[in-house]
Amino acid sequence: MNKYVITIARGYGSGGRTIGKMLAEELGIEFYDRDLLRLASDDSGINESLFAKADEKLKRSLLFRVASNIYKGELIPPDSDDFVSNDNLFNYQAKIIKELAETESCVIVGRCADFVLKDSPNVVKVFVHAPLSDCINTLKEMTGRSEKEIEKQVLSIDKHRADYYKYYTGRDWEDAKNYDLCLNSSMLGFEKCVEIVKSYLNIRFR
């Protein structure tokens, strides 16, 4: 099998990140999540803390709710006042995602990677979701917090992820047409989700 990339978008509490790590371990390939921030920082020379703060800035921005800046692949040069803008920070993360896809097989979680790599032939785009009640129960076991508090957090984070995705892609985050596989982790369990993705890889790329 040639190089391939598995991108994973996931609802909060659905276990998508865990499934991604399990996939990477079983397939013997790299797993990227927040590592992308460090790599983008190294590549751009922009402090990593700015990448970490960018999501929160967008989350609080009214402009983020109503506008969009669909990613087209450009980088803003260092001599521009917008070099360290949130949009250019996203551009550098996207640059790293593209370079990884060209050089190795890997699993990439979040960061609109499915859209960034939409023109790459060897990409498997996965969306992991679960019913709200199951996400709440999973997070309650992990944190011991109240159901009401967790529900508020799940809805808030999923809304932010949907807004972030819409802003940079122009697409709806939960639209099945964006993905090759949509997996209900509550119905299937993590292990079966991993097996389904592995089977899909073998069928598509054998």
Query: Do residues 198 and 107 lie in contact, with contact meaning Cβ atoms separated by under 8 Å?
Result: no
Show the domain range for 184: 5-205
Give the C-alpha separation, 129 to 120, whole Å: 24
Total-model pTM: 0.88
The count of structural domains within the chain is 1
Q: What is the DSSP letter of 147?
A: H
Residue 45 banded pLDDT, cuts 50, 70, 90: confident
pLDDT bucket at 75, cuts 50 / 70 / 90: confident
Q: Region 178-194: what's the mean pLDDT?
A: 96
Predicted confidence at residue 160, as pLDDT, reads: 87
**CATH number, domain containing residue 59:** 3.40.50.300
pLDDT category at 1 given cuts 50, 70, 90 is low
